[in-house]
Amino acid sequence: MGNTCSGEGNVLPEPVNKLHAAAAKIETQLQDLDRKIARAEQDIKKNVALGPENKAAKQRALRTLQLKKMYEEQRANLIGTQFNVEELRAHHEQADVAFTAIQAMKAGEEEMRAQQAKMPVDMIDDLRMEMDETAEDIKMISASLAESAGALDGSDEAAMEELKKLEADLEMEMKGQLADPAFSDARPAAASAQVAARQRPARRPIGVS
C-alpha cells in the first residue's frame, strides 16, 4: 500500500489521494448546487409575486421550479455519493493502519527470530557446561598450589630425609672438633685474649689532653 498518512513527509498513497480528491470535488459541487437552489427559490418567489395574470412570469416560475427540483435531486445523489466516498475512505485508512501494524509486527517477529538464531538453546547449554568445566579446573589448580605450599609440614618425605641427614652430619662434625686437642687448646686462649682486650684502657687520640 505504500506510505501511510503518518509516514515520511506525510505522503499519502495514490488510492487515498484519489478518495480525498473525489470527496473535495463532491463538496464543491454540493456547495454550487446549494447556491443554484437558493437562487432558483428567489426567482420563483419573484415571478410568483407578479401575479397569476402574468403568464410569462408564471411560465418562468414553472421552469425555475423544475430546475430547482433537478438541482435538489442532484444534491441528494451527491450526498449519497459523498457518504459512500467517505465510508470507503475511512475503511481504506483503517485497512492501511492495520496493514502498517501487521508489517511492524512481522518485522519485529523476524528480528526476534534472527536474534534467537544467534543464541540457540544448544549453544547456551554448551556454554554453561564449558563455564562449569573451567570453574572446576580452577578449583583443581588452586588445590594443587595449596598442596605444593604445604611441603614444610612433613608431607614432602624426600626433603625431610635430606634435612635429617644434614642435621646428623653437622652433629658428627661438631663432635669431631670437640675431640681434637688443638681445637680444645685454642678455645681457652681465644677467650683470654677477649677478656684482656676488654680490660685494656682505650687509647686517647694524639694532641688531646
Give the integer Cα–Cα distance in Å for 152 and 177: 31
More confident position, 192 or 115: 115
Give the integer Cα–Cα distance in Å for 199 and 193: 10
More confident position, 9 or 70: 70
Q: With a cut of 60, say whether residue 63 has pLDDT above it.
A: yes
For 87-99, write each residue's pLDDT tens digit. Answer: 888 888 888 889 9
Read off the C-alpha cell for 28: 464543491
Average pLDDT in the 167-180 region?
76
Give the integer Cα–Cα distance in Å for 30 and 86: 15
DSSP state of 204: P
Query: Where does the pLDDT of residue 155 fall: very low under 50, low under 70, confident under 90, or very high at 90 and above?
Result: low
- What pLDDT shows up at residue 5? 44
For 9-58, write each residue's pLDDT tens digit. Answer: 445 556 678 888 888 999 999 999 999 999 999 988 888 888 888 888 88
Q: With a cut of 50, say whether residue 6 has pLDDT above it.
A: no
For 98-137, write each residue's pLDDT tens digit. Answer: 999 999 999 999 898 888 888 777 777 888 888 888 988 8
Give the integer Cα–Cα distance in Å for 164 and 44: 143
pTM for the model stands at 0.43
More confident position, 80 or 13: 80
